[in-house]
Amino acid sequence: MVLSVFQSIGRYRRLLVGLLATASSSSTKQKSRSPKLFTYQRRLPPLERLPAVSASVSPVSDQTGKTKQVLPPPPNASYANSIGVVYTNDVDVAFRWAQKHLWSDTEAPKILGWDMESSPRLPWRESSYGSDTHFGPATIQLSTPTDSMVFQIAQDGFGPIHETTGLPGFLHDILDDPNLIKTGVGIDEDMVELYRWCRGIGVEEERLSWATRGGVDTGVADRPVEPPLRRFDLGGIGSSKPGGTIGLARLVAGILGVGIPKSSKLARSHWSAAPLRAREVDYAARDAWAAAAVLHRLCELDPSRFSPISILQRLAELEGSKGTKNRIRPIGEVSDRAVQRKAVKLEWKALKPPRRRNEDGIEVPQTTTEADTERLGILAEQMKALAPMQPIPYEIEESLGVKIP
């Protein structure tokens, strides 16, 4: 689980070589079309502190045998503080940020807040788009509980900044690192989109090992040969419904006691129109920060479940046998299954008779042929089997006294 010193040295050497190679490639082959480099440093505005939400907590016994209600200590006020963010399209600056905040002398597992923003193609903005407008993944956000980075990976007028690798080498290495637990809500969706984008621009498969590794060994142990991409979806924390998910803003409110600004208008920003505006950088950075901060707080309350090593062990359990319904799959496999499920669902919808109502508004049962009924049943089972894995559920209200609003 823990990397050796020699492995660590080797990794840094590979990272440095990859960095130099990327710089050399940019200067020789793409110099005429390379975007102007920029780096901005700013402080994210402080967050609003929210009133405490009461939660029911099971009584516990003290040393005298008396029972009492134990509530968790309030979140540290520092979660509302301003934090530093670096916004850049310069691979050298981004690499140094990763060295400083992610790769320290110790090789213990670490939590990394991860998020991605993509430029959508919106019909009502069609007249503003040009031939060199970029659509798709545009920024990647990395964060610890105290520092964030927004890294521009694609721009209008240039497309992918790292044309042959999609991402600079150090980002591929972050994704490949099994000791860096990439964390967010709905993180598989971002990873699948990033994987498809990299493949779409012709990135070599060997550079995408982070998405393809994790095949199951069919030997006696029946365990993965290598662990798939190490990622943790926060959405199952505090959910009261089987298979339910909790959004990031609600997690932050309940666990950190602060509110993060959410805006559908900002979410639909054209993220490849670099450099971004300050409020767009703030919006992007806060989501990655929130993921890291939520787990930081939960680790304070219950390290037996939420410390990096505990989460890593839980993930390892779910990377198990191929017969396990909810095993954590490689991102490439998640992508393939999503394509298969979409095709099955389209056939199911085409066969399913439309709902009809009579003049009184009462639904009228529709008839289907025996063959269609049988096929609909088969397709329904296939959709169920191909359904994406739900986030790992964690109960926190009764055990920790933390209520999600």
Query: Which CATH number goes with the domain that contains 25?
Result: 3.30.420.10
Distance CA 363, CA 37 (A): 61
Same domain membership, residue 131 and residue 256: yes
In a domain, 399, yes or no: no
Predicted model pTM: 0.84
In a domain, 107, yes or no: yes
Same domain membership, residue 344 and residue 235: no
Same domain membership, residue 277 and residue 341: no
Distance CA 313, CA 304 (A): 11
Give the number of other CB atoms < 10 A from CB of residue 394: 17
The pLDDT value recorded for residue 321 is: 56
Query: Closest by alpha carbon to 85, among 37, 141, 38?
Result: 141
Q: Which of 111-115, 179-183, 367-371 has the lowest mean pLDDT?
A: 367-371
Helix, strand, coil distribution of the chain in percent, nearest 5: 45, 15, 40
Q: Which residue has the higher pLDDT, 289 or 28?
A: 289
Token pair in block for residue 120: 């959508």
Relative to beta strand 136-143, strand 84-88 is unpaired
Mean local confidence (pLDDT), 14-25: 45
Contacts of range 42-45, beta carbons closer than 8 Å, 24 or more positions apart = 42/84, 42/85, 42/87, 42/278, 42/281, 43/82, 43/83, 43/84, 43/85, 44/82, 44/83, 44/84, 44/85, 44/148, 44/282, 44/285, 44/286, 44/289, 45/82, 45/282
Query: Is 332 a residue whose pLDDT tops 60?
Result: yes
Mean local confidence (pLDDT), 280-307: 97
Mean local confidence (pLDDT), 253-281: 94
pLDDT, tens digit, 9 for 90 and up, residues 223-236: 556 889 999 999 99
Query: Is 5 a residue whose pLDDT tops 50?
Result: no
Same domain membership, residue 66 and residue 149: yes
Q: Which residue has the higher pLDDT, 231 or 319?
A: 231
Q: Where are the alpha helices (DSSP H) in 302-369?
A: 303-306, 308-318, 331-351
Q: Which residue has the higher pLDDT, 404 or 220?
A: 404
The domain in which residue 377 lies consists of 335-352+370-388
Same domain membership, residue 207 and residue 278: yes
